[in-house]
Amino acid sequence: MAKAQKIRKAVIPAAGFGTRFLPQTKAMPKEMLPIVDKPVIQYVVEELVASGITDIVIVTGWHKRAIEDHFDYPNELIQTLKEQGKQEQLEEVKRTAELANFIYIRQKGPYGNGTPVLCARNVIGDEPFVAIWGDEFIYAKPPRAKQCIDVFEKYGDPVISAIKVSNQDVSRYGIVDAVNVEDNVWQIKKLIEKPKKEEAPSNIAAHGCYVLTPDIFPILEHLAPGKSGEVWLTDAIRELMKSRPVYACLVKEGRYYDTGNKLEYLKTVVEFALAHKDLNGDFREYLKSLKL
């Protein structure tokens, strides 16, 4: 087997409206919702960087300028922090701007999560790449994206991250009908979108992080709109599976944070606040005082 090409680029689709969080997201991108003192999308970017990614393409819309500003190098702010002697904040602001080489593209084309991936085609070129959502994340060691990249480098074919869900929750996810290849690696035979509990072939949900090869682009380009008249990445992957294997990487030691859901977002904020070095003690005492 030929050695797989090294992955250095990633695409983060971030052009959606975040309607579940309106009116908060009317003027603020859902990807910028704070988890204590960092926005959701920064956790996603940090996962990619920790996985060896150097170039990150963020596909945005007219209402997402705050994302670009967040990862910019703010000279005036840096100068102000320097003058005020706020060294810790200064270093964190600089680190955020220097995490990766950021490229921003405005989404053009129909709705659906396949369109932003296609929009990044000219930047990705003929390289394999990671596609990952910007409004949710999995905290894992090693990072989820790195686990998927390792599987890709071994097998040379596309990989989707996967998590085990309860039998009660299978109807919320894309569930795989798959054959176990080794340890946490499964070859996908079918991708079934939100099956009924009694019809689900497994409780393994393909979810959130995709290591893709450039042959996905012509499929996306000619893909007919699917559900709700939108272009879906899952439909393109189903088509890709007709010509090559696609694997699921069951994420080891990972905790999924669905920060696109109000209740799960609030749980995430509380969990990260309890682990925050400056807040954990006082915040824990506050929660105890509520006597819920």
Q: What is the mean pLDDT of residues 22-49?
A: 93
Residue 38 lies inside a defined structural domain of this protein: yes
CATH number of the domain within which 85 lies: 3.90.550.10
The reply to whether 139 falls in a domain is yes
CA 24/CA 258 separation, integer angstroms: 17
d(CA 171, CA 265): 20
Q: For the segment 40-92, what is each residue's pLDDT rounded down to a tens digit? A: 999 999 999 999 999 999 999 888 899 999 999 888 898 999 989 999 989 99
Say what the pLDDT of residue 112 is: 81
Q: Quote the pLDDT of residue 224.
A: 85
> Which tokens go with 287?
């929660």
Its domain, for residue 23, covers 9-260
Higher pLDDT, 227 or 258: 258
Of the pLDDT bands very low, low, confident and very high (cuts 50, 70, 90), residue 21 is: confident
Interatomic CA distance for residues 160 and 149, integer angstroms: 10
Asked whether residue 285 is assigned to any structural domain, the reply reads: no
266 falls within a domain? no
Question: In one letter, which amino acid is 106?
Answer: R
The larger pLDDT score, comparing residue 35 to residue 225, is at: 35
**Is residue 273 in some structural domain?**
no
How many structural domains are present in the chain?
A: 1
What lies within 8 Å, CB to CB, of 97 at 6+ separation is 71, 72, 73, 74
Residue 175 located in a structural domain: yes
What lies within 8 Å, CB to CB, of 270 at 6+ separation is: 287
Q: Is residue 3's pLDDT more than 70?
A: no
4 band by pLDDT with thresholds 50, 70 and 90: low
Cα distance between the two ends of the chain: 58
Note the pTM of the prediction, 2 decimals: 0.91
- Mention every residue, 6+ apart, whose C-beta is less than 8 A from residue 69: none
Q: 278 in a domain, yes or no?
A: no
Is 15 a member of any domain?
A: yes
The mean predicted confidence, pLDDT, of the chain is: 90
